[in-house]
Amino acid sequence: MRILQLLKMRAGMTVSQLGDALHISQMGIRQHLAILEADGLVEYHQEKQGRGRPPHIYRLTDAANGLFPTTYANFAVGLMNEVAKFNGPGFINKVFRGRMKAQLQTYQLRLQGKNLPERVKELARIRDEEGYMARFDENEDDYVLIEHNALSWRLRRNIHTSAKLKRHSSGNLWVRKSFERNI
Q: At what angle do helices 89-111 and 72-87 cross, to 10 degrees?
A: 130
Condensed to tens digits (0 to 9), the pLDDT of residues 85-133 reads: 889 878 888 888 898 889 888 888 998 999 888 888 898 899 888 877 7
Q: What is the mean pLDDT of the chain?
A: 79
Helix or strand run (H / E) with residue 55 = none
- Which pLDDT score, from 0 to 100, does residue 165 have? 39
- pTM flag (> 0.95): no
CA distances from 48 to 10, 28, 66, 100 (A): 19, 24, 29, 46
Count CA within 13 A, CB hemisphere, residue 48: 2
pLDDT for residue 145: 80
pLDDT at 4: 93
pLDDT exceeds cutoff 90 at 15: yes
Q: What are the structural domains, with CATH classification, of the chain?
A: 2-65 (1.10.10.10), 72-176 (no CATH)
Interval 19-40: pLDDT, tens: 999 999 999 999 999 999 999 9
